[in-house]
Amino acid sequence: MYEEASKQKHKGASLHLCDNMFFLVISKTDFDDETIKLCLGFLEQVERSEGKKVLITTGPGTAKLFSTGFSLKAFSKHQMNSFETIAENQKLLVAFLTLNVPTLCVMQGTTLAGGLIIALCHDFRIMTTKAKVALSEIDVNLSLGLPYAQILHKTLGTQGLERTFLGKKLSAREAFDEGIVNGVFSDDWELERHINSFRREFLPKSENRHVTKQMKLRLHAETISALLNNCMSPSQLHTLNNASVGFVKMGKKPKTEKARL
């Protein structure tokens, strides 16, 4: 099931339904405007669907990188719409946080910066033992906005926060120990086992969508409010703009693969 869905490569992202499981396959590792809008549209499809369903988000099955979050390169091209773009990105996080069906993020590759934030907006997360996770904002001189900090704080303990926000790359086992992921897999068999277990336990519960929605809205009330009402400060936006323009002009990439939020 997973292997077949993850092989479907489309520009940006695609949505597939298999055995009552929606697979959101995000082919683009750094999010631009088009990818954000595609994902928002697909999540709305899932929200409006009927019957017992679950959502599994992943990237192409062969990719070594899952996501680096929001692309600074895309940001530099659309500076006039920067606030709008960031606002749309934060709406996407809310959509993941409050989706009315159970959600699982399969991190089949290394997950950095905003990609980690996206993963943390799912109910559950699993990752391959071959990958690592890290917050790399510090490498591009960016601090986390309040909404993103709240997402991290809800998931990680104090030690995990300290190790993560300083940009340390954590192995799959370390990510599991810190509560960033709920499980790890080393091969396709273990991955399918995790997915089948998730489906078996949560698909029967997904019929009560209004209850699921209400619980998520209440559980994440403060984070949702921050995401919908707080964009980046002018100083943060200025720093982001300088970083994005600088990397594009110099043709350089930061140490953590690509520039991102």
Give the Cα separation of 10 and 125 in Å (integer). Answer: 23
pLDDT, mean of residues 128-148: 72
pLDDT, mean of residues 131-147: 69
Least confident interval from 111-115, 160-164, 232-236 = 232-236
Write out pLDDT tens, residues 77-99.
Answer: 554 455 566 778 889 999 999 99
- 177, amino acid identity: D
Note the pLDDT of residue 22: 97
Q: Give the CATH number for residue 186.
A: 3.90.226.10
- Retrieve residue 129's tokens: 């033992």
Domain-embedded: residue 174: yes
Note the pLDDT of residue 133: 87
Domain-embedded: residue 211: yes
pLDDT, mean of residues 143-168: 66
Residue 207 pLDDT > 80, yes or no?
Answer: yes
Residue 250 pLDDT > 60, yes or no?
Answer: no
Helix or strand run (H / E) with residue 1: none
Domain-embedded: residue 202: yes
Evaluated on CA atoms 59, 65, 68, 73, the torsion sign reads negative
Write out pLDDT tens, residues 209-241.
Answer: 999 999 999 998 888 888 888 654 445 444 444
Q: Number of structural domains, the chain?
A: 1
In the 8-state DSSP scheme, what is residue 145? Answer: P
Range of the domain at 117: 2-250
Domain-embedded: residue 7: yes
Residue 187 pLDDT > 50, yes or no?
Answer: yes
Q: Do residues 108 and 65 lie in contact, with contact meaning Cβ atoms separated by under 8 Å?
A: no
- Retrieve residue 139's tokens: 């490498």
Give the Cα separation of 16 and 106 in Å (integer). Answer: 15
* DSSP character string of 210-251: HHHHHHHHHHTHHHHHHHHH----HHHHHHHHHHHHHHHHHT
